[in-house]
Amino acid sequence: MIESPVAHNHLTAYQNLKYYCMIRHIPNADQVIRETLDYVGLSDTGKKVFRDFSLGMKQRLGIAIALLSKPDFLILDEPINGLDPIGIKEFRLMIQRLNQEKGITILISSHILSELYLVANRFGILDQGKIIREISKAEFETLSEDYIVLKTADKEKACQVLKEQIQLQFKVVNSENEIHIFGQEQDVKQILKDLTLADVAIDEIYYARQNLEEYFTQLVE
């Protein structure tokens, strides 16, 4: 299913599914259509035609059209582009249901990596049209780094204190006075204390974990 599902603008959800049932020679069309519309949450659209659907409704109809043939495998291209937060959540829950209840394997192409992380259990990372890494969610969580983010205008002084007093590994990650310290969450209190005693002005400090977007960026840069 492509980013913008294709359907007949002047037809209702039921009529669009009826059309696809006819060209695919699907038996018991009326029952199949009603069950499918109910499953994707479009059973109450009545006489509303496709052109008047919200983007979220159009995406659900696209899924419904695909489900008519009882597929084992679905390919979705940028399925949540343009959806509002509620629409994204509803679509995510529907994708999870399709996998868990119907056993459908779903391949999603998307640049919204934070959302992919919530639904996928395996990731393939593309660069210049080629897969450069394939990794399971479990493997990613094992490899992802835990670190403490320190933001300070006194970057040089902070680095000196970290090296000489705190003795934790760290790296300066960008030009925005941000330092990643490789420690545990319980180290934050001691780091904060030592930096304060050394008169290092701290703008922000918190515990974090590498996310999928950061992992992707490291691979392709």
- pTM (global) more than 0.75: no
CB-based burial label for 13 (10 Å; 0-12, 13-18, 19+): buried
- Number of neighbours of residue 32 by Cβ within 10 angstroms: 18
The CATH number of the domain covering residues in 145-220 = 3.30.70.100
- Number of neighbours of residue 164 by Cβ within 10 angstroms: 10
Superfamily of 13-120 according to CATH: P-loop containing nucleotide triphosphate hydrolases (3.40.50.300)
Spans of all domains in the chain: 13-120, 145-220
> pLDDT tens, 2-39?
666 789 999 999 999 999 999 999 999 999 999 999 99
**What is the per-residue DSSP string for 113-172?**
HHHHHHH-SEEEEEETTEEEEEEEHHHHHHHSPEEEEEE-S-HHHHHHHIIIII---EEE
Q: Give the model's confidence band at 1: pLDDT under 50 very low, under 70 low, under 90 confident, else very high.
A: low
> pLDDT tens, 76-134?
999 988 888 898 999 999 999 999 999 999 999 998 898 999 999 999 999 988 999 99
Closest CA to 79 of 156, 176, 2, 166: 2
